[in-house]
Each structure stands twice: as C-alpha cells, then as structure tokens.
Chain A
Amino acid sequence: MSAIQPPSQRVWWKQPLDRLEGSWIVLSLIWCLIMFFMMPYWHIYGKQNLANEAYRTTPDAYTKKAQAMVDQYTVRKETAQDIPVVHPPAGSDVYLIARLWQWWPLLELEAGKSYRVHLMSMDWLHGFSLQPENINIQVHPGYDHVLTVTPTRAGTYSIICNEYCGINHHTMTSKLYVVNK
C-alpha cells in the first residue's frame, strides 16, 4: 500500500515511531527552538534591532518638522537642485522625507554618534536601503518610524529606494555622509 492508496492498517496511528524519524524530529525540534530563541536573545544582547517606535502622523506635520530641522542645521547645498545638506547635532531627531521620487534632505552625520532618524513617506510606499552598509527598512505613508542609528565608519553612503514606487522608482537615490568629528 503506497501513499496514493488508503493506509493498509486501519489503526495506522498506533504504529510506533522508528528510530530514523524519532531522532530527526528531536534534532529538528531542538534546532527550531534555538532559532526561535535567537530572536529575543538578539533583542537583549545584540546591537541591531528595530525598536518599533512609530507614530501616526500626517505629511504636513512631518514636513514641518523636517523643514524646521533643515532651516536650523543646513550646512551647504548640493546639485543643481540646491538640495540642502543637513548636519544635525548628535542625539537629535533627524527627519528624512521619502517622496516620489526623491529623498529629502541630504544628511551628514558623525561617526560614532547616535541619532534618532525618522523615516516617513509623503505618498506611496518606499524602501530605505542604505548601501553598502545594507540596512533595509520599509517606509510607509502616515507612519513616522524612528530608528536610533549609530554610524560606525566615515564615508559617503547611498540611499536607494528598494520598494517599487512607480515609473521612476529607479531614479530615487540619494547620499548620506558620515564624517569624523
């Protein structure tokens, strides 16, 4: 009797486990539990976690905060579009706007310092992908997502949109500068 026929024994559920399946189930279960507990373990002992701090807000309210930061901490402007480069103080709230098809403004952070980086979209879904560091975060409209970030190495990083956001999705790139104090 094979798997495409009814079981030959009416009381198939009483057949004892053989050693092959028994050992594998025990090993697999142990591994599954290790993988499960790795996640809470990393929340306690690991350094890369999302705090899941987020607030519902509106594009207007969020833009106001971003604009206030830009007005106060802009150090220079870049490109033909005069995009402000903002150098906010360590520990402060840093607002990054995602919109079709731009990240605004440009950020300049200091290595070794922590910042409360806010991410929010003004319109559709976007994806915050920091390269080559390779940190990838979903960006929603209406949700102000706060990450406490500590850049470790100075350099020029790219921010790439990695959530499809329409016809010019591939043009939605930006820079993030990390400088040594």
Chain B
Amino acid sequence: MMALNRMYRTCPTTGLLFHEPAEKLMRWNAVAAVVSLLVGGVLALLVLLTRWPAVHLLPADWFYLVLTAHGLDMLVFWIIFFEIAVMYFCASTLLRCRLATPKMAWAGFWLMVLGALMNNYSVFRGDSSVMFTSYVPMGAHPTFYLGLILFAVGALIGCFVFLGTLVIAKAERTYQGSIPLVTFGALTACIIAVFTIAAGAIILIPTFLWSLGLISQIDSLMYRTVWWAFGHSSQQVNVSAHVAVWYAVAAIIFGAKPLSEKVSRTAFFLYILFLQLASAHHLLADPGVSSNWKIFNTSYAMYLAVLASMVHGLTVPGSIEVAQRVKGYNKGLFEWLRKAPWGNPVFSGMFMSLIGFGFLGGISGVVLGTEQLNLIMHNTLYVPGHFHATVVIGTTLAFMALTYFLIPVMFRREVMFPKLAQWQPYLFGIGMSGFALFMMGAGTLGVPRRHWDITMAGNLFGHEWPGTAYLMIGLLAIFGILAVIGGAAYLLITVCSVFIGKKIETPGYTRIRAVDGMAAPAPVQPVAAAITGHGGSIGAGGMVAPGTFVLAMVLLVSFVLYYFVNWKYLSQVWPLS
C-alpha cells in the first residue's frame, strides 16, 4: 500500500488548513469550471444578440445549436465543476482532514472533463441541437448522452470522495463535536446530488441505448417525468451549495455565527426531504398526470422546501446583522447594513446573490410552480427569466464572490485589477437582475422561450406582439449586455490573477501525522451555558436582528402581493376545465 499523502499547509491569513492533493484538485476543478464559464459566456452573448430583434445575429440552425451548448456549459459544466471544488473545500479544508482517495478523485475529474468535451463535441457537430432538456422523441447523436453519462459518473465519484472524507475526519478525529454548518450544507448538496445523478442514470442510459437503436421507443411523458427528477433536482443541488456559500461568506467576512444551528440545519434537512419532488414543476401543463399528483409534488409537500429557503433567507443576513451589532454597528435598524464592506466583492457579490435569489428567483419560482398559474407562463420567457434569477444571480454570483476569497487563499495570488473587482459584482448582479426581470415581463406577455424569431417574419401565419413585449426584450438585451460585461470582467480578473497575478509567499507544505492532526477536545460546557443566547444588549424589540426582520417582511409582503396579482391575471383568461 502506498503511503498516504499527509502534506498540509496552513494559510497564514485565515488559518485554514489545506491538504496538498485536495488543494490541487480544488484548483483544477475551479479552473475547469471557469473555462466552461468562458465558453458558456461567449455563447450567452450570441444567444442574446440573436433574440434581440434589433440585431438578430445568427441563422436559425446556429441559434438552436448555440442555445443548446449555452445551457449545458453553464448549467451543467460550470456549476458542477465549481461545486466539486466547493465540496472538497467543505470536507477537507473545513474539517482539517486529508481528502479521501485522491486518485479516485482525479479519475472522477478526468471523467468529467472527458464527458464535458464529448458532449460539446456532439453539439458542435450540428446534429444534436436538442436543447439542455433533450426531450425524446427528438434525438441527438449518441455521444451527446454518453458525454453526459460520463460527466455524471465523474461527479458521482466526487460525491463519494466528499462522503469518504467526512468518514475519515470522524475516524481520525480532526474536529470535535458536529461538522460545521457550511459542511452540513455541502453534505445536503451531496445527498441531493447522489439522488439527482441516480435519476439522470435512469433516464439517460436508456436514451443513450435508444440513440444507438437498441431500444425502440421511449415515452415522452415518462422521459419528462424522470428527466426532470434529474434536471430540477440538480438545481436544488445548486441551491444547497450556494446557501452553504452564503453562510461561509458571512462567516469569513464577519465571523458570523449561525443564529441557531438547530434552525439552519433543520432547514437544510427539509431540502433533503422535499426538494426532489420538484420534477412536477415541469409537468403542470402536461396531460397524463393527475392534479393531486401535481399539487402535492409541485408544492414540495406543502411548500416545506420553500419554508426552508425562507428560513435561510432570514438566518444568513440575520447572522451578519448580529455580528455587526456586536462589533458596535448597533444604531437604528440598518446601521449594520450601511457599514457593511460594500467595496469588498466577496461580500457585495454574496449579498446581491441573496437578495436576487429571494426577491426575483424565489418568488417567481413559487408563482411559476403553482399548478394553475403555470398555464399563463409555461414555456414562455418567464421560465428562463426565473431560472436566470435562481441559478445565475443565486448560484453563479455566489460562486463568483467566493472566488475573490479563494484567489489569495488557495491560488496564493493577489487579485489583479482590484478596482474592477470592486465593480464586477455590481455589473453582473444588476445586469442579471434587470435581464431576469424583463425576461419575466416578456414572458408574462406570452413571448415564447427557445424561439429564433418572435417577429414570425416569413411565416404562413404571423403574430403581432404588443409593443411592450418588444420594449421588454430591448431592455433585457441591454441589461444582458451589462451582465456579459460583468461576466467578462470576472473572467479577466480570475484568469489574470491565477496565471500572472503577484504571488503571495506563504509557508509551504509540511507533513502532519494523523495523531498531530487531531483536534483538541472542546472544553466541556454545561448545558446551561451552552443554551444562553447572543447576549441581551443588542437589537431592538426583543429581536437580535430587527433590521433583517424588516427586510424579511418586505420580502413576504412582495411575495403575497405578486402571488395574488397572478391569480388575478389567471382569472381573466378563458375558462378551462
């Protein structure tokens, strides 16, 4: 048996402990993620410039090809490569533990790279423009499905390396007590990912065999039901991962302590229990499934996973507010927020991710996922409007914010163009927010998604959209270009910093034996001391974080109003039964 690699280094500024193979894997996964983002970003611009009727850049075949590749490179490859890096960070670094089976982790990484390349190859061949969803009976080249399967197997290996690391950390006692909340969030993401990949295997393996001619037929409704157990659940992996990143950033920037470990962990646990039901969100306007099934599943069993997100939406800023008030920013309702480090992209990116995910992505998702309301939104631009708010503002912006922390800590380079880095989250966050908002506006007016030319020029039957629809599309294009500029700034800063940024000299790796790495036992605390709260001197009205409560109430009131406005819209369309 080969000797285990027990080389570690301690980051002098943060005190974080990096295991040599784990750190290398995190870096490579992060680099693969950023390369995917670069490709996906160029494709995003091409999609945008084609959908904007004033430009209408690409011909139809190229538009559908580019849209397919954009969805896959962003939603699958960029996000999942980054998530693997985050998972290794949460297991190995936060638990101060060696990474389990680094060789297997490398095998997983290279399988993911191979899968991503193969899938892109099939799309750019030109015969696999089947969109991200690849609904049967429309078929793609076999390498399209095989690429996704290989990528998923690689990601699954990454999940098991993460789980194995948790087991080692427990066995070698590298920490005392329970795992940190952020690691718990990553564990949530990992558990949902395993379920997700299983669902993906159940549908993609038969579809691959079908593309080879070995299976004669795949039912379109069965495909949509199972595929979305993969497609939507993988977005829930993103939610769990970016919520974990929010908690991590709150801890890193403010030293914030969770308001209550119990509440935050229970909220993550609700994700594990209920988020997988979300496949139904995509079947609300489909024949062949009953309303009872739709209602139970689309609401995650009475919206208990929505409840979980609403809880995180309160506890993350709440913990920041408490940390700031303890530091002395205790005046009024919002001094803690005004005095937050808005010039630090790690914070500003994370906070915009939180606000954008809640107000734009969260509310629109619930409205879109309501059984009857879906009838006035299904497959319109409202759908991509919603998920750009969740996945791009929520996940991508949170990951971007975390990157500014990882560049000096993990890549040991100074962040280049610091002035641009200060602006980058605002360019991207505001651009993406306007983009998503106006996309939803166009969707409310009925404009279809995945459509090359809504002017319907040259069609046997045309259609005149209201002028507001064109106004909405013009606005979303302008904000979209702002977001592309923000994305390009991120890529410029990241790539330059990592490859040519000024090196930060830090102590190198040293060998630490398992016994040396054991955490000192925590001082025994009597239960009475453990259950005292945050001290009664901060906050107002009996609340430790009154400002956060006010913000949460603003969210709730917007939510209620917007929800019922949509029922009002629905009540005006033709009766259906």
| Complex Cα–Cα for A145 and B577 (A) | 12
| Complex Cα–Cα for A39 and B549 (A) | 29
Q: Is the CB of B466 within 8 A of A5?
A: no
- Contact among A31, A125, A129, A170 for B456, CB-based, below 8 A: A170
Q: Is the CB of A134 within 8 A of B573?
A: yes
A2: chain B residues within 8 A (beta carbon): 250-252, 255-257
Q: Is the CB of B376 within 8 A of A136?
A: yes
Interface size bucket, A side?
35 or more
Q: Closest B-chain residue to A40, C-beta based? A: B295
**Residue from A15, A151, A167 whose CB has the most chain B CB atoms within 10 Å:** A15
Mask, B357-396, CB within 8 Å of A = 1, is 0000000001000111011111110000000000000000
Report if B311 contacts A (CB, 8 A). Answer: yes
Q: Is the CB of A18 within 8 A of B319?
A: no
**Residue from B260, B295, B444, B461 whose CB has the most chain A CB atoms within 10 Å:** B461
Report if B561 contacts A (CB, 8 A). Answer: no
- Contact among A6, A31, A132, A163 for B179, CB-based, below 8 A: A6
State whether A23 and B533 are in contact (beta carbons under 8 Å apart), knowing that A7-B178, A31-B560 are contacts in the complex.
Answer: no
- Contact among B251, B377, B544, B559 for A4, CB-based, below 8 A: B251
Q: Interface stretch among B113-121, B283-291, B471-479, B490-498?
A: B283-291
Report if A72 contacts B (CB, 8 A). Answer: no
Minimum CB–CB distance from A10 to chain B (whole Å) comes to 5
Report if A35 contacts B (CB, 8 A). Answer: yes
Minimum CB–CB distance from B461 to chain A (whole Å) comes to 5
Number of residues in B with C-beta < 8 Å to the partner? 115
Q: Is the CB of B257 within 8 A of A16?
A: no
| Complex Cα–Cα for A125 and B217 (A) | 14
Q: Is the CB of B258 within 8 A of A169?
A: no
Q: Is the CB of B250 within 8 A of A3?
A: yes
| Complex Cα–Cα for A43 and B306 (A) | 22
Q: Is the CB of B375 within 8 A of A48?
A: yes
Q: Is the CB of A4 within 8 A of B179?
A: no
State whether A133 and B257 are in contact (beta carbons under 8 Å apart), knowing that A4-B248, A24-B314, A164-B131 are contacts in the complex.
Answer: no
Minimum CB–CB distance from B438 to chain A (whole Å) comes to 17
| Complex Cα–Cα for A160 and B261 (A) | 50
B374: chain A residues within 8 A (beta carbon): 136
Q: Is the CB of A14 within 8 A of B380?
A: no
Mask, A87-128, CB within 8 Å of B = 1, is 000000000000000000000000000100001000111010
Q: Is the CB of B533 within 8 A of A15?
A: yes
Report if A154 contacts B (CB, 8 A). Answer: no
Report if B556 contacts A (CB, 8 A). Answer: yes
A81: chain B residues within 8 A (beta carbon): 460
| Complex Cα–Cα for A62 and B288 (A) | 16
Report if B508 contacts A (CB, 8 A). Answer: no
State whether A136 and B378 are in contact (beta carbons under 8 Å apart), knowing that A20-B545, A39-B299, A162-B449 are contacts in the complex.
Answer: yes
A150: chain B residues within 8 A (beta carbon): 574-576
**Residue from B181, B310, B379 whose CB has the most chain A CB atoms within 10 Å:** B379
- Contact among B137, B262, B366 for A13, CB-based, below 8 A: B262
Report if B180 contacts A (CB, 8 A). Answer: yes
B221: chain A residues within 8 A (beta carbon): 140, 143
| Complex Cα–Cα for A170 and B205 (A) | 30
Q: Is the CB of B576 within 8 A of A147?
A: yes
A137: chain B residues within 8 A (beta carbon): 285, 375, 378
| Complex Cα–Cα for A175 and B104 (A) | 58
| Complex Cα–Cα for A33 and B60 (A) | 45
Mask, B424-455, CB within 8 Å of A = 1, is 00000000000000000000111011111110
Q: Is the CB of B260 within 8 A of A17?
A: yes
| Complex Cα–Cα for A145 and B220 (A) | 14
Q: Closest B-chain residue to A56, C-beta based? A: B288
Report if B52 contacts A (CB, 8 A). Answer: no
Q: Is the CB of A32 within 8 A of B303?
A: yes
Minimum CB–CB distance from A114 to chain B (whole Å) comes to 8
Minimum CB–CB distance from A6 to chain B (whole Å) comes to 5
Mask, A159-181, CB within 8 Å of B = 1, is 01111111111110111000000
Q: Is the CB of A3 within 8 A of B319?
A: yes
Within 8 A of A (CB), among B507-538: 522, 524-525, 527, 530-531, 533-534
B466: chain A residues within 8 A (beta carbon): 132
- Contact among A42, A127, A131 for B463, CB-based, below 8 A: A131
| Complex Cα–Cα for A3 and B314 (A) | 15
Q: Closest B-chain residue to A175, C-beta based? A: B461
Minimum CB–CB distance from B464 to chain A (whole Å) comes to 8
Q: Provide 15 A-B residue pairs closer than 8 Å at the C-beta atoms, listed in order of the A residue.
A: A6-B177, A6-B179, A12-B260, A18-B543, A21-B314, A52-B288, A134-B444, A134-B573, A135-B375, A140-B286, A142-B220, A164-B451, A167-B61, A168-B60, A175-B461
Which 10 pairs across A and B sit closest by C-beta, in order of nearness? A145-B287, A54-B287, A32-B303, A2-B251, A9-B530, A162-B448, A12-B261, A136-B378, A158-B463, A47-B575
